[in-house]
A and B are shown apart, each in its own frame.
Chain A
């Protein structure tokens, strides 16, 4: 996304020093394990950290990369169009993100949700939106080009970006532009800086995408040749003949910037850093016109950069990442609460309604009062739930009995492998403010989740 974002720019330019001067470094290794879980999943539990330390970072990465894809039966997502179904569906999706046996599948599906964007706005109905989320979740390490084809004709996308209203005569340019700008090519080539397409290309591609109509009763899309512009179209400097939607996707997948745009985005998502031209070239050879997601993701997360100090802690958790990682740590069932309104109205990240077709922003814009205060409300729920669980996190913290030990235990249980002097002092003071009891223990957990360290990804 091109919108200005100080955080994203910082990530690319400077050496992130999150774990640098002033940090209490427990050891670099737990930091790497926690980082792997934050980026390839939604953050670690203490058990994840222990397991990762036992097998080592390389083996953990391979295990996450090679996990078996989960199936719709396992997802157990509800069907239907009622308000209750929507609430239940969101809770189930968030639970999958927190607890799926294949964390990378959920992480990738979430990355794709912010990349090939559909918002449940205007006439997009929930049934169509469910079909769309299923497309993204089914094989998010497969062929990106196949995913582009599937989403292009999906009813959700057709309605969201007016594809079904794009008819011969005066075409609607909405999907044509965003397909190229946001889903596949970007405005300019990241290496050469050359424009990837012209406004005239947008018009011509829109002509090629005509002919699809919507059955309002069934909510389905079909091709109607009488609405299709069968004339010849010229785009990307080439006469493309009587090109149609499939020809457009094929032409896009052969465009020189196709091998750079999504790989660069994946690199930023996973490492928090900007790829160098050399890295991009290397990723492009793996990407090919099929858009090989697995090959590119695998190359990124097995590169030394992925586990480097520059990458670790270089991102900021979004509200969804705060919620899902916090719930996983506290063993909280996200299917029992409706956080949709809080995520949307107070934190600006309703998973069903991105702010626009570019998806959600990244970086330090998420460090703001609205998010922080709303997060404190969620933390309150998480901690009180943890407190009611026998042998749960609060019990484990309380069992340490020595306040100093309780602080390090709390940090470890929250997947935090380093803390600033300020945070250590705050937790220590809090732990010793009154006699050690379960109230102190649960307060420590709440503070760790609200700490500046936890806000970082």
Chain B
């Protein structure tokens, strides 16, 4: 069966059930075979909270996203954003606050004012390592730990707890995001819903698939690369029919062709189809705006804003409209003094953005102090530990503060961003 034939044959629930049957009789590990049974909607009922994390990779300049038009240091030519600061009359006011949004966020500003379900956590960052390196900072963020021995991601640990070994538990729309790395639960990477299938030569069909299934039966030693490769093949085979069956051309066509819109389209299609994943991670950027930041942000922010609008329009046409929360976060903010190439270098405090019907809109955290004397190597000093945002989200996802404590290796304040 070629891709076209396959896609014609597959669709909706029939495909989900076919997926369940595909692995039903296989001697796979209980978790993998059991996962097919979890496809039944009763095991992932409407009302199950779903997180879509958008990683603004490269260090988003929070200072140029939520802007304080009354802060003279923002506009300062010598020690502020100067040439790349955005004039007050172009900003989009955040209703009821003294802050304003970058003009690229037209949809978000309107949503903030009308739906009241957009929250910004100001000053989010870390005061543990004061890390200016992308890769060290990303590690801390993804692991939610400052210990080099932690090799799982915070959402991977969440999935190990909530849906251990389910091939559907965690979806990454761009490769495998490290935040999803788990001890047991595989990461389902979905580069495209439409083309989510093996290519199998015309000479062989079911016998070839059967052989792939047989090769995936675990037989390498625990912990070995061979076993990991077998498990990947098994979970890929299990997920394949259900994921491809989530394709919906009408919905897909409502999304832009930009990278971020396409990734959010994947998430929306899978959520709409009832794929039992509580966690989606989207990697977007680069936000590493060392030069030409103003022009870069017009595109980066503008495409994100449009894609968020398309995503929520798609989700709100499904029964899971109230279940989905989007979290945008980044490894750090940027320095306050613009360099001579109209950019900013690596900084410290950034911001987190939450959107979704269960979000209680508003500004959270505390705006960092911007005067040069209050900065750390020209960067804003964080006022909120990023793990507080994680704890807030985990508390919402699980309804229990105990889970966040366990997964984050400590107690972090719930910021109260959810209704």
Name A's B-contacting residues (CB within 8 A).
1-7, 9-10, 14, 16-18, 20-23, 121, 161-162, 165-167, 169-174, 177, 181-182, 187, 199-200, 202-203, 313-316, 345-348, 355-358, 361, 364-374, 376-377, 379-380, 383-384, 420-423, 425-427, 429-430, 433-434, 439, 442-443, 446-447, 450-453, 455-456
Contacts and interface: CB of A to CB of B under 8 A. Distances in A.
B319 to A, nearest CB: 26
Given A2-B139, A370-B175, A442 B199 contact: no
A7 B186 CA distance: 12
Contact of A443 (B58, B142, B204, B217): B204
Contacts of A2: 133, 135-136, 138-139
Contact of A17 (B143, B183, B223, B235): B223
24 contacts: A3-B135, A5-B181, A6-B181, A9-B151, A17-B223, A172-B291, A174-B345, A199-B132, A313-B226, A314-B225, A364-B225, A366-B176, A368-B187, A368-B189, A370-B175, A373-B195, A373-B240, A377-B199, A422-B219, A426-B211, A430-B210, A443-B211, A446-B201, A452-B233
A134 B213 CA distance: 44
A166 B232 contact: no
B400 interface: no
Given A356-B134, A370-B190, A452-B216, 8 more contacts: A167-B341, A356-B58, A367-B231, A368-B188, A369-B243, A380-B200, A442-B201, A443-B208
B151 A443 contact: no
Contacts of B203: 439, 442-443
A18 B220 contact: yes
A130 to B, nearest CB: 23
A10 B228 CA distance: 11
A308 B192 CA distance: 40
A75 B328 CA distance: 45
Interface string B171-198: 0101110100101000111111001111
Most A CB atoms within 10 A — which of B188, B217, B235? Answer: B217
Given A1-B135, A165-B340, A181-B135, A173 B377 contact: no
B71 to A, nearest CB: 20
A450 B197 contact: no
A357 B285 CA distance: 13
Secondary structure type dominating chain B contacts: loop
B215 interface: yes
A357 B215 CA distance: 37
Interface of B: 57-58, 132-136, 138-139, 142-143, 150-153, 172, 174-176, 178, 181, 183, 187-192, 195-201, 203-204, 207-208, 210-221, 223-226, 228-233, 235-236, 239-240, 243, 283, 286, 288, 290-291, 337-341, 343, 345-346, 377
Nearest to A372: B236
B235 A369 contact: yes
Closest 10 A/B residue pairs (Cβ): A165-B341, A452-B229, A426-B214, A367-B232, A348-B175, A17-B221, A368-B189, A377-B199, A439-B203, A369-B236
A217 to B, nearest CB: 19
Contacts of A202: 132
A95 B410 CA distance: 52
B151 A456 contact: no
Contact of B208 (A199, A425, A447): A447
A27 to B, nearest CB: 18
B233 A368 contact: no
B217 A422 contact: yes
A429 B210 contact: yes
A451 B214 CA distance: 10
Contacts of A16: 224-225
A165 B181 CA distance: 37
A278 B366 CA distance: 48
Contacts of B220: 17-18, 22-23, 420, 452
Most A CB atoms within 10 A — which of B197, B204, B283? Answer: B204
Nearest to A345: B191
Contacts of B58: 356
Given A439-B204, A452-B220, A6 B236 contact: no
A17 B224 contact: yes
B58 to A, nearest CB: 7
A3 B377 contact: no
A429 B209 CA distance: 12
Contacts of A452: 215-216, 220, 226, 229-230, 232-233
B135 A316 contact: no
A172 B133 contact: no
Contacts of A6: 151-152, 181, 183
Most A CB atoms within 10 A — which of B174, B197, B341? Answer: B341
A373 B197 contact: yes
Given A174-B290, A199-B377, A373 B236 contact: yes
B380 to A, nearest CB: 14
A370 B225 CA distance: 18
A181 B133 contact: yes
Contact of A367 (B132, B142, B229): B229
Contacts of A18: 220-221, 224-226
A364 B228 contact: yes
Nearest to A452: B229
Nearest to B285: A356
Contacts of B290: 161-162, 165, 172-174
Given A4-B143, A21-B221, A172-B339, A430 B208 contact: yes
Nearest to A358: B135
B211 A429 contact: yes
Nearest to B238: A369
B289 to A, nearest CB: 10
B229 A167 contact: no
A18 B222 CA distance: 9
A367 to B, nearest CB: 4
Given A9-B151, A177-B132, A373-B197, A447 B211 contact: yes
B213 to A, nearest CB: 8
A121 B285 CA distance: 12
Contact of A4 (B178, B191, B196, B345): B178
Nearest to A381: B199
Given A169-B340, A420-B219, A373 B198 contact: yes
B177 to A, nearest CB: 9
Contact of A370 (B136, B138, B191, B217): B191
Contacts of A383: 201
